[in-house]
Amino acid sequence: MPTHVLQRCLICMIVFATGSALAAPPATPVTKVTDTYAGIAIDDPYRHLEQLDSADVKDWARAQGSDARATLDVLPGRAALAARIKELSAKASDRVYMVTRLGRSTYFMKKQPTDALGKLYVRTGKAADRALFDPDTMKAATGKTYAINNYAISPNGRYAAMVLSVADAELGAIHVLDIKSGTMVGATVPRIWGELSAIWLPDSEHFVYTRSSDPARAYGKNQMIVHRVGSDGKDDQPLLGYDIDSTVKTRENDWPFLTVSASSPYAVLQLVDGVGGMPRVYVQPRDQLGKPGAVWRELIGESAKVRRTTHAGKWLYGRTFDSASRYRVLRWDLSHPEAVPVEVVPQQSGVIEDIGAGSDGLFYVVRTGAVSDLFALRHGDGAGKARKVGLPLQGSIYLSDSDQAMPGVVFSLEPWTAPLDLMMTRVGQANAMSAGLIVNKGQPYDDVIAIETTCPARDGAKVPISILMKRGLKLDGSNPTFMEGYAGYGMTITAEFSPTWAAWLERGGILALANPRGSGAYGEEWYQAGRGATKPNTWRDMIDCAEFLVKERYTAPAKLAVRGVSMGGVAAGRALTERPDLFGTAILQVGLLDAVRTIVASQNGPNHLLEMGDVKTEAGVRQLLAMSSYHNVTRAAYPAVMVITGMNDNRVEPWMSFKMAARLQQETTSGKPVLLRVDEQAGHGMTSTTEQRNAMLADTLAFHLWQTGDPQFQPK
């Protein structure tokens, strides 16, 4: 559910038996390894588990995964629970996402309930949806499961450049589909990070792709390269990036983003130094792009404190926290390079969370708590001229398609208790209307309520938390409860509907979703209060929220699960290691669990330098050690734990989960299980199949119900 796609990744676990004849996991050898960073010695007894290519490590992981699978499969209630989840999944809405409008046509990804993965579709005018590409067609020839990570349509509508990956991997390759003939053309472009789409040039014959200049790296030292459609790629030309001679210099950890369109005489380049960086923005005339000696003019530096930009025609907008913790929006006139930016949206009472520009104006999202409002401002209008867009209900809002070549915006609107819809509006329209792209809609939750409240933190801060439960549920301290937090990169858990979680809520379970410091719940200041040196606020807010749920009798420690996904592994993992007595179970799903080695040894490590810390300084090492769950496992009575990973995860490598599980198995004194389920066909969960997502949820819920004493889930 929360944390979006990541929330539903495949779960991977390892089980100890507790008071039953269930199997125990294989023993893990301990090795003597000590590193010294900035004068600080750090022991790492499970370093050998980082060797993912080692036959011994592979055998160990398979044995752990097999043990976990065998343990979970004999839980008496799991089969019925899995069947209920499958039933709910089959009745869900079509999932429509990655919308692109071009002329009279709308392109989008759609995954129907019976589909394993999403397919690429087009709808032209009032014609029926037409499938353009089904990645499952590649399975017969290759024996592999492909997924579409992203796609980009050429300006003339002839080609779709799709990034396809195998088995939920983060890295994929660009394949170019000739939409008219339905055939692939030219060579594939390998080693493309899953979130980086091709950038078409206006001639529709060339596109720009981004990848690492180092073949051994998944990312970093990135370069932007121009590719001609239909070619073998041997004559691809460097445009800009790391070690490329250009008037703009890039850093080793920069992510470059280019906006170029026939609708604007300007090309706009953004460089972002890792996930915690702020954009540096450069501009040049579009007709100079790629020409020798063409000059990129710096428009916005890091001192401007801009977090996001959007561009249409001669206008560029930036969301900044300069003198505005909840952000404000500035506008630059690209036709007057000497002009200073103008504030067009002042700081609001809520948080300005997103901005997007169409040909007719700027659209921006203001979030209050877990739900948002949408506003529209015509290009050229000043502050105070924006108009609130009428919506049929309250929910979270994400801008799905805003394009400088098209008027208006397409956005998702999603409450906690009913399915998402895709909406559309234009500047000047009083009310948004359904885009009509989701034809088959599922049912809302039956008799479920969402409570928005705050938890008192130990220092007086108020931590937002959203609580979902059945209407009329008795608060007597006996309710099984999942509490989750993410709290990284300023990302906020907002209203999101997941039909399969009804399997939990309908049986009296509670779902509590916290936004500790490190999230963007209250804006930039709240984010900065849970980042780097202040990261301890994140897991202590989680602990305080857990104590709030117990005090208010939603649940009791023995019934409470703490769950963290990806970066949320810091929030959940450190809450677990600091207060193991406060939880009945812990779920650590594809979690960032070894913060020190993340920076040193992970392919994605340098991406986190600004967010987490640097091993080159004593202060950096100490803050990394503080947030590293693995390094804070000591001899203690831990609750039952599930540690989750997929072997194809390039974002958070599986060795982090391996090491955490091994150390917990060694150090726990409670006799309760530590589970590691390893899926060799899974990655970080970005493109998990429906079957994988359903199995993950069934295993997660069954594990917690088993460990919290539900009689239907106790092995005989």
Q: DSSP string spanning 57-104?
A: HHHHHHHHHHHHHHHHHT-TTHHHHHHHHHHHHHTSPPEEEEEEEETT
Share of the chain above pLDDT 90, in %: 93
pLDDT band at 9 (very low <50, low <70, confident <90, very high): very low
Please give the Cα distance from 156 to 280 (Å, whole number).
31
Q: What is the pLDDT of residues 683-715, one digit of tens each?
A: 999 999 999 999 999 999 999 999 999 999 999
From the CB of residue 313, how many other CB atoms can be counted at a distance below 10 Å?
Answer: 17
Query: Is pLDDT at 12 greater than 80 in this prediction?
Result: no
Q: Is 478 in contact with 419 (CB distance < 8 Å)? A: no
Q: Is residue 644 part of a domain?
A: yes
CATH classification of the domain holding 83? 3.40.50.1820
Please give the Cα distance from 314 to 300 (Å, whole number).
15
Beta bridge partners of 268: 259, 283
Measure the CA dihedral 357/238/278/612, to 10°. Answer: 130
CA atoms within 13 A on the CB side of 254: 25
Buried-exposed string 435-453: b where 16+ CB fall within 10 A, e elsewhere: bebbeeebeebeebebeee
Q: Is residue 521 part of a domain?
A: yes
Q: Is residue 116 part of a domain?
A: no
Buried-exposed string 340-372: b where 16+ CB fall within 10 A, e elsewhere: ebeebbebbebbbbbbbbbbbbbbbbbbebbbb
Q: Is residue 556 part of a domain?
A: yes
Q: Is residue 662 part of a domain?
A: yes
Q: What is the pLDDT of residues 590-643, one digit of tens each?
A: 999 999 999 999 988 999 999 999 999 999 999 999 999 999 999 999 999 999
Number of domains in the chain: 1
From the CB of residue 73, how many other CB atoms can be counted at a distance below 10 Å?
Answer: 11
The CA-atom distances, in angstroms, between 264 and each of 283, 503, 548 are: 12, 50, 53
Q: What is the pLDDT of residues 441-493, one digit of tens each?
A: 999 998 999 999 999 999 999 999 999 999 999 999 999 999 999 999 999 99
pLDDT band at 26 (very low <50, low <70, confident <90, very high): confident
CA atoms within 13 A on the CB side of 58: 6
Q: What is the pLDDT of residues 27-39, one digit of tens each?
A: 899 999 999 999 9
Q: What is the pLDDT of residues 497-533, one digit of tens each?
A: 999 999 999 999 999 999 999 999 999 999 999 999 9
Query: Is pLDDT at 95 greater than 70 in this prediction?
Result: yes
Provide the residue type at 545 as one letter: C
Q: Is residue 187 part of a domain?
A: no
Query: Is pLDDT at 338 greater than 90 in this prediction?
Result: no
Structural domain boundaries, residue 59: 33-89+443-708
Q: Is residue 582 part of a domain?
A: yes
Q: Which of 575, 700, 560 is nearest to 12 (CA)?
A: 700
Q: Is residue 366 part of a domain?
A: no
The pair of three-digit structure tokens given for residue 548, joined into one six-digit string? 């709030």
